[in-house]
Structure 1
Amino acid sequence: MIVCDKKEGLFTLHTRNTTYQMKADSYRVLLHTYYGARIVGGDLSYLVRYTDRGFSPNPSEVGHNRDYSLDTLPQEYSTCGVGDFRIPSIDLELEDGSRIADLRYTGFEVKKGKYSLEGLPAFFGDEEQAETLVLFLEDTAAQVGVELYYGVFEQCDLITRAARITNRGGHPVRLRRATSLCLDFQRADLDLITFDGGHVIERCPTRTPLRQGVQSVGSVRGTSSHQHNPFVVLCDHDANEDYGLCYGAAMVYSGNFEAAVERSQFESSRLVMGINPYHFCWPLNPGESFTTPEAALVCSTCGLARMTHQFHRAIREHLIRDPYHGARRPVLINNWEATEFHFDADMLVSIAKEAASLGAELFVMDDGWFTNRDSDLSGLGDWVVDQNKLPGGLEALVPRINDLGLRFGMWIEPEMVSEDSQLYRDHPDWALRAPGRAQTRGRSQLVLDFSRKEVRDHIYQVLKEVLSSANVTYIKWDMNRSLSDVWSAGLPANRQGEVFHRYMLGVYELLERFRRDYPDLLIEGCSGGGGRFDTGMLYYTPQIWCSDNTDAIDRLRIQYGTSFCYPASTMGAHVSAVPNGQTGRCVSMETRGIVAMSGTFGYEMDLNETTPEEKEIIVRQIEKYKAYYDLIQRGDYYRLTDPFEDGPYTAWAHVSEDRREALVSLVTGTMHAAPPFRVLRIKGLDPSFCYRVNDGEEVYPGDVLMQAGYPLPMLKDDYQPFQLHLKAE
């Protein structure tokens, strides 16, 4: 609910459990007054304090009043060059060379339904689900206007932010920084949680108290990156899963980003999120506008679990556009770990036949299906089926797969090109490359310049011919290197600062074309696993390959960190062969299945090489996953332990929204002699219900299971699985 007091310049955004407020003061500076637990309302600007601070300048219009300084005030979209020395929200370079932005409030507009952003991903909601507030700011000297967009999803406790910057003057200006979100707190006793790592070790939580100065994470790799995820949390020092004030902020963007927090000299703090200013410069000619990507905010007054649940619901209901909406996505089998590049049609059909007999529903043909692709040194860009491997093309292969009762999917990497390819020989300028310099390779490949329409059009056309040749219902969209040599032959020298962002807009545009022309096609995102796992990609790809690391024990940590923002329905998770290719570790088929079951379930192995006993386990796993699909994919996710603490076990639970059903999963850690008896306290149940355990004789009240706990059996080996299915009587 949006409440506006035009006379007082007061704007209050209410969600079910939170309130967010800002006010234009007497100098038309837009101040941030409050964000926290829902309150009745009223003017909270009394919380803003004024005093004379040394070396904090004062605006001209306040005269000799030294108590008023932008350097000390909590602002809704921070200024630049006019006395606030903290992180700016915007950096304008004007025609005269000055770098100043002084924004003042001029008006507002309220709309039913959620705003949309042309060419950019964004949360969506109709008139019954969301409202939009637009606040208008202007720098009159620069003749630059800024529209601040707020989307309010009352039931999800979600508030979204974006900005649109317009040159209303007669001279060009250059944007050097344009953030999506600025959030000021009149306190600094907070912890910052970021989700960091690298390839095959993604999204490990890092928690540190705010210190004096700036703490930041971000990416300059052209993707949101394996190294730092574009999602951060600010919370009370003592906040945990069940207690404390927590603020979660996610960038709905998949390219270079920055999330920075500054603790000021006066014990206030400021969070800004937006496009990373590294190599960013966007010229605005008179009349032109620039729209920032969206940022999404959730505030929880009841700990991290509540924040997680609100993000999960909002992402599932108001961000993901799923061709399987309301239906179950298929269990898949991928051939990569079984064959890598070396396969033919009969080999693929053999794997598919065995998979179908065990209950799989979708066969995915991975890398190696196109011409000149027997290794990763060649072929990318030439998206033509290799007739030597697949005689008759997809037209011959796919019906053989479909006749087994399986749908068919395939791997593609549209953004890349091999030097040993016909596409590169014909169009070397279509790859990112700085003039006069040798190119930098990544995975022995180059990056196509997706900022150029002719490049995107070509790739779309050749892939469309492939997809239209057969009944393809799934594609895995991969992206296996970071961007370097970022220079576009399609732009003049003074516009090269646009390339990183235009590249990302080009990726989004091509994904949207595939979604429009193939509405029933399920697209799974991937970038060497989790290198582009963000809410921006989820707008186009309802699921993303969580990590190239399929080791079940490592995945406990990766999926734990991922869960803070992203729901299980988005996490690509498969059972792979052992010894694991990343770690060399061997764990049981049962353990691998329980871990993979907490995502979008599938297999990456040659099922023809499994034992009869393993085949029986696979059949049971697939049946169990199908039976618990709604509970896993749409239930509330509870982290019962922290796998980074190296405790005796890792445990988590999926609980239905009505609290009548729960699936509790556990994997032991390294076992030691003479282990103690252990009890697992479960979360999310209804204390007034009684729950039957695994359809057996045991029945416990919900409050008993949550407070006293469930006695665990004596699990004697390393990495042993255990599951409880609880059903209310």
Structure 2
Amino acid sequence: MERRTVIKNKGHEFVKLESAMSACYHLPRTGRSYRLSHLSGRWGAEYMIRRQFLTQGKILLENRTGISTTFAHPFFALDEGDSTEHSGCVWFGTLLWNGNWKFVIEQDPYEQICVTGGINDFDFSFPLKPGDSFETPAVLSGLSTAGFGGASRMLHSHQRRYIAPQGEASRSMPVLFSTWANMEWDVNEAKIFKVIDLAKKVGCELFVIDSGWQQKLGDWRPDKLRFPGGMKAVSDKVKNLGMDFGLWVEAESFETKSELYRKHPDWAMCYNGRKLCSNIRADAERRQVFLLNFARDEVAEYILGELRTLIRDYSLDFLKLDMNSYFNTPGWEDVPDEEQKTIWVKYAKNLLQVFAKLKTEFPSLLLENCAAGSGRSDLLMDSVFGRINRSDNQDTLDIIKMHEGFTWMHPSKLAGGACHISDAARNINLRSTPMKMQAYAGMMGSLSVGKKLGECPAEELAEIRAYLELYKRIRHIIRDGELFRISSFYDTPYAAFEFVSHDKTEALLFVFGHSMQFAFKVPPFKLKGLDAAKFYNIENHGENPQKNGFTATPEQCTRRSGQGLMELGIRVELLGDYDAQMIYFHTENTI
């Protein structure tokens, strides 16, 4: 159910709107304590699941950095404390908004629960002249009787049918090669040409040049020193090999050395009459960067034109939007005092409109939503963007834990990132994980490769290719299937995610071990959502060929009934550190 509010000034005098909530819900009194579940985090640790029981008083969930999911995600779930992943009643809701927001969860002295949500009223006001109206963003809410997993599947189904751009829900996510993990800002024509053929050789389908290709932040043209032959030559080379081509942009920022800043310093977001506030980027050039004020219509129109030209000139199939600044001085010149606080709303609306127009003009274009990781991953952005940078943190263990919270809101296939298969994530926790674990974790979303392919021996290139071929074989199940979170790193040293096709003829089980100890025997995983009457052939991928001599190896079973898989489960042996397996189930005619 979607609820929104339309506020109209039917009087004859000016009205200043200072609060505009979208919806208010009262939960039934049951005599039991309600438990709140929500998602919070920070850079590199997005989508962390948090839980607490309600008592008399208010709990505030909010974000007010100018973008929607910097430290909290616009999502809540309430149950009576005993609902599980697979059973129990769960009330849930999310706000479809890409700017500041808040949810207030209140329990009054008589144990009545009230949830109110909408645009955050922090530093907010909106003038309404006689006859003017203001429409709030929608709160999407529902009730699951199948636990937290049921709530997720309801949201995923709704997004596929009503929110995702036309054609995106049915798109198979292309295997992406990104320059970021292996070159960072130091990209140039010579390096790119050396790796294009190798990316094609291992099976990549989309070649993306990340930050560093541009002349300056704000000047979205290729740097002539780095790309003396121009970007068209690179695009042609990629496409001649049969891959799609994409670029990274940070459309909301410009730097002092840019031509755009020299022409329009007034376009920087800044309080009226105050000194500009910048941030210094810690790359090789130590750039001084300002945030463009997208609340200005002329800024939005200019950036729309620049991106439109970029897409046409280089025949782009993919565009990644990044954003690495918060609203540090949310003000602007040229508007009266009563309109200063409209900046939060107008900025969010104009930004979305720019990319909605691009998506309409270039319907096959795949847009990736990135904001210093997953800083703006609300469901309104999902109405335009077909891929989400789940996090800048690509450490595989961290990915698996974040993915659980990510799928509370988003379909699994949207989970992107620049370097699932790579060595770049070691700097996060000083931890290296096996390529097998990296690949299987990446397969649960939109798989990417960030290895330094030119330095990989032949056997490693062959291993990468094998993983990509496997992903292409099974990605339709992740795209269209229903997700069941079978086991969680929050509770055990192992995690398991199951995907089941809608016709129940195919299923996938991804299993990951953290640090297994004492020859621990993992309990059988009881699958969900299968057809009890069907028999499934079983293919195990990634089984460890080494045995420890203590844990009994289960007898290999290549065929089992759906009823047996759901009631008795399937044994998976996990050994040592960072073990992973993927098991494919299919009926006779779905090979």
What TM-score do you get using the length of structure 1 for normalisation? Answer: 0.75
User: Between Structure 1 and Structure 2, which shows a larger proportion of helix residues?
Assistant: 2
Report the 3-state secondary structure (helix = DSSP H, G, I; strand = E; otherwise coil) of the residue aligned with 1:564: helix
Residues 323 and 727 of structure 1: CA distance in aligned 2, closer, same or farther (over 3 Å): closer
The residue that corresponds to 2:98 in the other structure is 254
1:596 partnered with 2:468: no
| Corresponding residue for residue 167 of structure 1 | 9
Match of 1:627 among 464, 473, 478: 473
1:361 offset after TM fit, Å? 0.8
Q: Is the 8 A contact 2:292 2:299 kept in 1?
A: yes
Match 2:204 to one of 356, 360, 366: 360
1:483 aligned partner, one-letter code: F
Q: Does residue 234 in structure 1 map to residue 78 in structure 2? A: yes
The amino acid of 1:424's aligned partner reads: Y
Once superposed, what is the RMSD of the aligned Cα atoms?
1.6
Q: State the distance in 2 between where 1:631 and 1:454 align.
A: 44
Match of 2:484 in 1: 638
| Residues 559 and 292 (structure 1), Cα distance of their counterparts in 2 relative to 1, 3 Å cut | same
Q: Does 1:727 align with 2:572?
A: no
1:395 deviates by 2.1
Find the partner of 2:240 among 382, 389, 403: 403
Give 2:583's aligned amino acid: L
User: Equivalent of 2:428, from 565, 579, 582?
Assistant: 582
| TM-superposition CA deviations, 1:679-716 (whole Å, max 9, x none) | 22222222222222118852222222222221222x32
The alignment covers a number of residue pairs equal to 562
Structure 1 contact 246–300 (Cα < 8 Å) conserved:
yes
Query: 1:428 and 2:428 equivalent?
Result: no
CA distance in 2, matches of 1:627, 1:278: 48
Look up the match of 1:707: 567
Determine if contact 1:332/1:363 at 8 Å carries over to the other structure: yes
User: How high is the sequence identity, in percent, across the aligned residues?
Assistant: 28
Q: 1:577 offset after TM fit, Å?
A: 2.2
Distance 2:344 2:19 in 1: 14
Cα distance in structure 1, aligned partners of 2:520 and 2:233: 58
Matched with 2:19 is 177
CA contact (8 A) 2:374 2:391 kept: yes
Whether the 8 Å contact between 2:160 and 2:169 is mirrored in structure 1 is no
Q: What residue number does 2:170 align with?
A: 326
Change (3 A) 1:357 1:515: same
Q: Name the counterpart of 1:292.
A: 136
Aligned positions of 1:63-74 closer than 5 A? none
CA distance in 1, matches of 2:571, 2:310: 55
The answer on whether the counterparts of 2:173 and 2:413 sit within 8 Å (CA) in structure 1 is no
Distance 2:421 2:430 in 1: 12
Q: How far off its partner does 1:316 sit?
A: 1.4
Asked if the contact 2:67–2:98 (Cα under 8 Å) also holds between the matched residues in 1, the reply is yes
Cα distance between partner residues in 2 of 1:393 and 1:384: 9
Cα distance change, pair 522–692 in 1 and its aligned pair in 2 (3 A): same
Deviations 1:298-347 (A, max 9, x none): 21112111111111111112111155553423211000111112122121
Q: How does 1:284-683 map to 2 (within 5 A)?
A: 284-324=128-168, 326-371=170-215, 379-442=216-279, 443=281, 444-573=288-417, 574-578=419-423, 580-645=426-491, 647-676=492-521, 678-683=523-528
SS at match of 2:308: helix
Equivalent-residue separation in structure 2 for 1:676 and 1:168 (angstroms): 69
Largest Rg, 1 or 2:
1
Note the residue ranges of structure 1 that are not aligned, 5 or more in a row: 1-158, 372-378
Q: Secondary structure at the match of 2:72?
A: coil
Q: Deviations over 1:230-279 (max 9, x none)?
A: 11111121011121111120111111000110001111011111000001
Shift of 1:613: 2.3
Cα deviation, 1:491-547, whole Å, max 9, x if unaligned, reads 211111111111001101211221122222111110011101110111110111110
With 295-304 and 436-445 compared, the bigger mean Cα shift is at: 436-445
* Separation in structure 1 between the aligned mates of residue 356 and residue 115 of structure 2, nearest angstrom: 31
Segment drifting more, 571-580 vs 465-474: 571-580
What amino acid maps onto 2:575 in structure 1? K
Matched AA of 2:578: Y
CA distance in 1, matches of 2:192, 2:451: 12
Gaps of 5+ in 2: 282-287, 541-555
Flag the 1:325–1:307 CA change in 2: closer, same or farther, 3 A: closer
Q: Which residue of 1 aligns with 2:575?
A: 716
Deviates most, 573-582 or 327-336: 573-582
Q: Which moved further from structure 2: 656-665 or 457-466?
A: 457-466
C-alpha contact (below 8 Å) 1:214/1:260 kept by paired residues: yes
For the residue of structure 2 that corresponds to 1:208, the secondary structure is strand
Q: Deviations over 1:106-136 (max 9, x none)?
A: xxxxxxxxxxxxxxxxxxxxxxxxxxxxxxx
Q: How is 1:187-266 mapped onto 2 (pairs within 5 angstroms)?
A: 187=29, 189-266=33-110
Residues 203, 226 of structure 1: 8 Å contact kept = no
- Bigger Cα displacement from structure 2, 334-343 vs 428-437: 428-437
CA contact (8 A) 1:323 1:522 kept: no
Q: What is the deviation of 1:584?
A: 2.2
What is the rounded CA distance, in whole Å, between the counterparts of 2:440 and 2:237 in structure 1?
Answer: 31
Aligned-partner Cα distance in 2 for 1:445–1:235: 45
Q: Give the deviation of 1:445 after TM superposition.
A: 2.2
3-state SS in 2 of match to 1:679: coil
Contact map agreement 2:387 2:414 (CA 8 A) in 1: yes
**Cα shift readout 1:389-420 (whole Å, capped 9, x = no counterpart):** 11232222211111122111000111111123
Given residue 704 of structure 1, which amino acid in structure 2 is its aligned partner? G
Q: Is the 8 A contact 2:170 2:479 kept in 1?
A: no
Higher relative contact order at CA 8 Å, sep ≥6: structure 1 or structure 2? 2
Cα offset, 1:483, TM superposition: 1.0
User: What is aligned with 2:546?
Assistant: none
Asked if the contact 1:181/1:273 (under 8 Å) is kept, the reply is yes
Task: Quote the residue 2:532 is aligned against.
Answer: 687
- Counterparts of 1:163 and 1:186, CA distance in 2: 23
Which amino acid is 1:679 matched to? Answer: P
Mapped contact 2:526–2:566 kept (Cα < 8 A)? yes
Q: 2 CA distance for matches of 1:610 and 1:564?
A: 36
Q: Flag the structure with higher strand content.
A: 1
Equivalent-residue separation in structure 1 for 2:128 and 2:234 (angstroms): 51
What SS is found at the alignment partner of 1:435? coil
Instruction: Return the TM-score normalized by structure 2.
Output: 0.92
Distance 2:254 2:290 in 1: 5
Kept after mapping to 2: 8 A contact 1:337/1:576: no
In the other structure, the counterpart of 2:545 is: none
Between the aligned partners of 1:484 and 1:509, the Cα distance in structure 2 is 23
Letter in structure 1 aligned against 2:228 = P
In structure 1, C-alpha distance between the alignment counterparts of 2:329 and 2:103, rounded to whole Å: 24
Shift of residue 677 of structure 1?
A: 5.4
**Contact 1:186/1:267 (CA < 8 Å) preserved in 2?**
no
Distance, in Å, in 1 between the alignment partners of 2:349 and 2:334 is 15
Amino acid at match of 1:699: R
